[in-house]
Amino acid sequence: MRRVILCLCITLLNISAYSQEILTGLHSNTQMNVFQKHLFQLQQKKVQSFIFHSSLALPFTEDFSTSIGYPDTALWIDNYAFINQSFAINAPSFGVATLDAVDQYGKIYEHAGQTAFSADTLTSKPIRLDSIFSPLPKRLTPSDSVYFSFFYQPGGGLGQPWNRLGNAPESTDSLVLEFGYYTGDTVLAYYTYRLYIADTSFSIGDTIFSMCDPSLFIIAGINYKEGDSIYLPCDSVLALESKWKHVWSSAGMTMEAFIENYSLDTNKLLFRQVMIPITDSVFFNKGFQFRFRNYASLEYNENNPTWASNVDFWNIDYVRLDRARTINDTVIDDVAFSKNPGSVLANYQAMPWSQFKNNQGKELVKKLKVKLSNLSEVEKNTSYRYVVTDDKDQAIGNYDGGSYNISPVYSHGFQTYNPHSSPDYTTNFPANNNDSALFKIVHIFKEAGSGDKNQKNDTIVFEQKFYNYFAYDDGTPESGYTVINAYSDRTAMAMGFKLHQDDTLRAIAMYINHVLNNENDFQFTLSVWADSSNYPGKLIYHKVINQEYSNELYGLQHYYLSEPVPISGKFYIGYQIETKNYLNVGFDQNCNASEHVYYKTGKYWEKSFLAGIPMLRPYIGNAWEPVAINDIEETRLDVRIYPNPANDKIQINLSDPMQGNDLRIEIYSLNGQKVYNGNFTNNIDVSNLKSGFYILKTHNTKTKEIRHFKFIIQR
């Protein structure tokens, strides 16, 4: 995710004097904030490095179907845009680049305000517009009819405020396209840093020298204690200078205005394609680039900084640059998925294996929903099928919808042939005695024969997870959820889940959004209720807890219960607030499970009317060993893990090497799942683990001493 990525949206409902539940914005994306900047004055002494991006050759094509999170580094040089399958409506192909109001760390830009400010940027690598090399080498000039094209869509979705998907840019906001070329000069590109774990204390004003080069140092702007993480400069990096020219822009607007202005059909593509000829000879060199930028403006009342949130979304898809094109070259010889078909569960996105494996008939969908498009101007003969595989990629089921013609999406809309657009789902998953399972549903849609021009968007994969939790949400919040009480300080919300067999509740995970001035930073009561006539009934667990944030990629905050709670039938998880504070919880607007959501501002529970689902998940099953970050910070560092952040391997050094003979090593993710277990070794392969924070546990089998240490995997 953009170094922990992302663009989240907001929808603001009109707040009257009534108590209600509302959708707010998300001030930042925690996952994009793994590495926060420290406030210090940087003193650089010399320049050692020069950055150079190798140039790409024509044609340039990107439909954002091969990556999630950051832009593909083979084509793009920055990581501000969020590549996702969540924010667009009726896209040409699945996957879009979304520009919003948060930076690469997931924070609202420091210069942000209530008037338009420069926000995200999506910049291409250099492209060779001086020459082509196939089929024969040839110099390029403006006479070669080079055209740049792309599709775009303002964010915000359609319908009532509680049904919308994100936030629309206002008329004072804008999306801008610029073309650039190398000037021949060099400029400062950025500073590189390396993580340093302080082995002593530092006070404000102290000089901290870099471990990379003693001539590089920082002046501490805050106090540091032993064990703190500090990012120290390693190098100043120069790059070739590019000069930029404005070539196109669009003012912000709602989706309704967008549809009306460009006569779009809600049953067809809801993106507009822009065609731009490149005629200025200055761009025909080895360093041509293009970049999209957006200008955003925050929407909030000065008395409510909680709503100073991520706003003003723009979605970009199917960018193309090539020669020998014309202004009428608007069709694409391609058939594609427009959206990921998603989970095969009827009620959840994910659920525990123990609750599912013997009740598959009640939990699996009967049919899938598949959105398919033909971007060409002629009818295409296509085939659709899907394959279900286990965690070893062995096929356990399949479906073949055969071949059928699909009409152009521009004239007829998306595919309506049921064996392709609404296929049956009949595959049961093989039951076993494991405590978890993972399967993949691999969908393939392509032009029959060998005529398919773009195969990247012909295959789409959904991972069906059966671990130790229930999830209605798909893991990506598009808004923030808050309950407001205009008459008192008391509010509560609850989400219902249904068991097939009795179990034990161990933890509750929540996605809590960062808000302006840390207004979310307060205590609330984590709660569990039994059922009473399909409403939350008797309170069976409650505990006052401190709000926490996760630093994992798309990470939820995990609150481990102080004691296991036996549960049966239907149960509810949620929270209660006794003070006039508003807890901003992530809200998934792509998965509507509102019938399971309840809120209370008085004596009685009310059912939610918001389309979507707050991001809360119950963790059930056997006990596991949770690890608290607060405990980690207090341990003495007699074990050194490096590199930290790590990529494929970590090396472990002990202050007393003799202790290694009696040590066991375990590694846990932050949700308490054990991902490694073995005797002590100096080197551990972590290439199979995802990016994020992990806990390394050392257990001395002789002295019984246990210690925990935190490390990061970053790719």
pLDDT of residue 336: 95
In sequence order, the β-bridge partners of residue 150 are 274
Distance of alpha carbon 12 from its chain centroid, rounded? 21
HSE of 197, CA atoms in CB hemisphere, 13 A: 16
What pLDDT is recorded for position 303?
53
Residues in a beta bridge with 669: 694
Alpha-carbon span 246 to 397, nearest angstrom: 52
Bridge partners of residue 577, in order along the sequence: 491
189-192 long-range CB contacts below 8 Å, 24 or more apart? 189/51, 189/237, 189/238, 189/239, 190/237, 191/42, 191/44, 191/233, 191/235, 191/236, 191/237, 192/49, 192/233, 192/234, 192/235, 192/237
Parts of the chain with a pLDDT under 70: 1-51, 104-107, 161-163, 190-191, 300-309, 450-451, 514-521, 548-555, 624-638, 658, 670-673, 715
- The Cα-based distances of 651 to 191, 197, 681, 699 in angstroms read 26, 15, 8, 17
Q: Kindly report, as residue ranges, where domains of CATH 2.60.120.260 are found in the chain.
A: 58-184+247-322
Place of tokens 């089929």: 135
Tell me the whole-structure pTM to 2 decimals: 0.76
| Domain spanning 479-620: CATH 2.60.120 | yes
In the chain, which segments carry CATH 2.60.40.10? 353-458
Place of tokens 């990581």: 79
Identify the pLDDT of residue 306: 52
Judge: domain 58-184+247-322, CATH 2.60.120.260: yes
Its CATH class, for the domain covering 629-713, is: mainly beta
Instruction: List, as one string, the DSSP characters of 215-226.
Output: T-EEE-SS-B-T
* pLDDT given at position 302: 57
Question: Do 75 and 290 meet the contact criterion of CB atoms below 8 Å apart?
Answer: no
| Number of neighbouring beta carbons within 10 Å of residue 651 | 14
- The token duo for 109 is 């830009």
Cis peptide leading into 59, omega within 30 of 0? yes
Q: What is the largest CA-CA distance in the chain?
A: 79
99-144 pLDDT tens trace: 998 776 666 787 888 889 999 999 999 999 999 988 888 999 999 9
Q: Which residues of 414-437 are buried (b: 16+ CB within 10 A; e: fewer)?
A: bbebebbbebebebebeeeeeeeb
Per-residue pLDDT reduced to its tens digit, 556-593: 888 989 899 999 999 999 999 988 777 888 889 889 99
Helices first, then strands: H and E counts in the chain: 6, 42
CATH 2.60.40.3580 domain extents, the chain: 629-713
Strands 49-51 and 229-251: parallel
Closest CA to 516 of 116, 108, 167, 115: 108
CATH code of the domain made up of 353-458: 2.60.40.10
